[in-house]
Amino acid sequence: MKVAFIGLGVMGYPMAGHLASAGHEVSVFNRSPEKANRWAAQYGGRAGATIAEAVAGCSAVALCVGNDDDVRGCLEALLPAMGEGGVIIDHTTTSARLAREAAETARAHGRWFVDAPVSGGQAGAEAGALSVMAGGEEQAFALAEPVIAAYAKAIRRIGGPGAGQLCKMVNQICIAGVVQGLAEAVHFAKTAGIDTNAVYEAVSKGAAQSWQMDNRFKTMVEGRFDFGFAVDWMRKDLGLVLDEARANGATLGLTALVDQFYADVQKMGGRRWDTSSLAARLERP
Domain count, the chain: 2
How many angstroms separate the Cα of 244 from the Cα of each of 98, 238, 251? Answer: 12, 10, 11
Q: What is the pLDDT of residue 228?
A: 76
Q: How far is CA 135 from the centre of its chain?
A: 15
Q: 163-192 and 231-248 are packed helices; what angle lies between their axes, rounded to 10 degrees?
A: 120
Q: Are residues 203 and 138 in the same domain?
A: no
The closest alpha carbon to 93, from 28, 154, 10, 162, belongs to 162
Q: Are residues 142 and 245 in the same domain?
A: no
Report pLDDT digits (tens) over 259-275. 999 999 999 999 999 99
**Average pLDDT over every residue of 183-210:** 97
Q: Are residues 227 and 97 in the same domain?
A: no
Residue span of the structural domain in which 224 resides: 166-282
**Average pLDDT over every residue of 54-65:** 97
Confidence class for position 83, pLDDT limits 50, 70, 90: confident
The closest alpha carbon to 165, from 75, 244, 262, belongs to 244
- The model's pTM is 0.94
Q: What is the pLDDT of residue 182?
A: 98
Q: What is the pLDDT of residue 159?
A: 98
**Which residues, in sequence order, are bridge partners of residue 118?**
132
Q: Are residues 118 and 199 in the same domain?
A: no
What does DSSP assign to residue 49? S
Q: Are residues 116 and 244 in the same domain?
A: no
The closest alpha carbon to 95, from 77, 78, 71, belongs to 71
Q: Are residues 174 and 276 in the same domain?
A: yes
Residue 218 has pLDDT above 80, yes or no: yes
Q: Are residues 210 and 194 in the same domain?
A: yes
Q: What is the pLDDT of residue 279?
A: 98
Q: Are the C-beta atoms of 17 and 45 separated by less than 8 Å?
A: no
Report pLDDT digits (tens) over 99-118. 999 999 999 999 999 999 99
Domain boundary among 134, 159, 184: 159
Residue 285 has pLDDT above 80, yes or no: no
Q: Are residues 138 and 80 in the same domain?
A: yes
Report pLDDT digits (tens) over 119-174. 999 999 999 999 999 999 999 999 999 999 999 999 999 999 999 999 999 999 99
Q: Are residues 141 and 243 in the same domain?
A: no
Domain boundary among 139, 159, 179: 159
Which of 168, 218, 236, 267 does the annotation list as catalytic? 168
In whole angstroms, how large is the CA radius of gyration of the chain?
Answer: 20
Q: Are the C-beta atoms of 211 and 270 separated by less than 8 Å?
A: no
Catalytic annotation present for 153? no
57: left (phi over 0), alpha (psi -120 to 50) or beta: left
Q: What is the pLDDT of residue 168?
A: 98
Residue 226 has pLDDT above 90, yes or no: yes
CATH of residue 88's domain is: 3.40.50.720
Report pLDDT digits (tens) over 3-46. 999 999 999 999 999 999 999 999 999 999 999 999 999 999 99
Q: What is the pLDDT of residue 62?
A: 98
The closest alpha carbon to 24, from 58, 56, 75, 47, belongs to 58
Q: What is the pLDDT of residue 223?
A: 96
Domain boundary among 159, 178, 196: 159
Q: What is the pLDDT of residue 284?
A: 83
Q: Are residues 30 and 100 in the same domain?
A: yes
Q: Are residues 12 and 75 in the same domain?
A: yes
**Average pLDDT over every residue of 206-212:** 96
Q: Are residues 179 and 109 in the same domain?
A: no
Residue 244 has pLDDT above 80, yes or no: yes
CA-CA distance, 188 to 217, in Å (whole number)? Answer: 12
Residue 216 has pLDDT above 90, yes or no: yes
